[in-house]
Amino acid sequence: ADVVEDQKFSLKEVLDTFQSCLTDNKEILIDQYVAGWRGLVRFMNSLGTIFSFISKDAVGKIQIMANHRKGGHGEQYETVQSMVKYELAHGLVDLTKRADHPESGCRTTLRLHRALRWLELFLERLRTSGEDGKTSAMCAEAYNESLAHHHSWIIRKASLMAFCALPGRATFFEVMNVGTPDQVVTMLGEALPLIAEVYQITEELYAKNNLLDLP
Ligand code: 1PX
């Protein structure tokens, strides 16, 4: 059964899920956003156990968001916009230091949001890379331009080490299960603008509400 599931898994479906989180009036649906992350984590897990420390943290954050949705105030967590409004109005966010709300939706989403920027930069490099492009270098560059700014020295070291275990571009494209390298490049070209838009909308919302440095 596992083999069959693995065969069906395609990165295109995952990126489609991300795109579906954007509503007509540019709100971001948390269920779809979280589902997108679930799919990415599944993809990452298929690349090897060396990524499990990353996967563990991501799954924890995905779970926190799913719990908010399932909780008594779940409807307030329908979109990132409604979540920000609700949590700020009710003092549910630690704004300057970690205190009573270490699992606020706002700070948890901010972590995923920063990782989304890494994803955007990494996929853009993959898309424009040549046949002999080195995935580990692309991944490290994308990381250093984004998430690394928010990580401690030890996490940065561990992450850069893990990236070295990434398969080469050809294998990586195969694992995506999208088709030929040309089809992967086309798919990425279609998906990236929407990922960038989701990122941009969240970034502006967080900037407007002074939430970009939540502890
Ligand atoms: C075709 C490309 C698809 C690749 C899919 C890969 C999906 C990766 C999902 C990664 C999600 C990472 C979330 C990290 C959130 C975070 O920054 N957490 C840190 C801060 O949290 P805190 O609660 O303490 O404030 C936390 O310290 C993180 C710990 C784990 C290390 C995170 C390293 C992130 C590197 C992301 C690159 C993944 C590379 C996978 C290779 C495919």
SS3 22: strand
Helix boundaries (H) for 28-180: 30-45, 52-70, 80-89, 105-128, 135-145, 153-163, 169-176
Q: What is the pLDDT of residue 1?
A: 45
Q: Which residues, in sequence order, are CB contacts of 46 under 8 Å at separation 6+?
A: 6, 9, 175
SS3 181: helix
User: What number is the average pLDDT over the span 124-136?
Assistant: 96
- Which residue among 18, 44, 150, 185 has the greatest number of ligand 1 atoms within 8 angstroms of its CB, and so is best to mutate? 44
**Best CA proximity match to 116, nearest among 92, 150, 67:** 150
Q: What is the pLDDT of residue 7?
A: 53
How much distance in Å is there from the Cα of 36 to the middle of ligand 1?
Answer: 14
Which pLDDT band, with edges at 50, 70 and 90, does 211 fall under?
Answer: very high
Q: What is the pLDDT of residue 203?
A: 98
Q: Whose CA is nearest to atom 27 of ligand 1?
A: 151
Q: Which residues pair with 112 in a beta bridge?
A: none
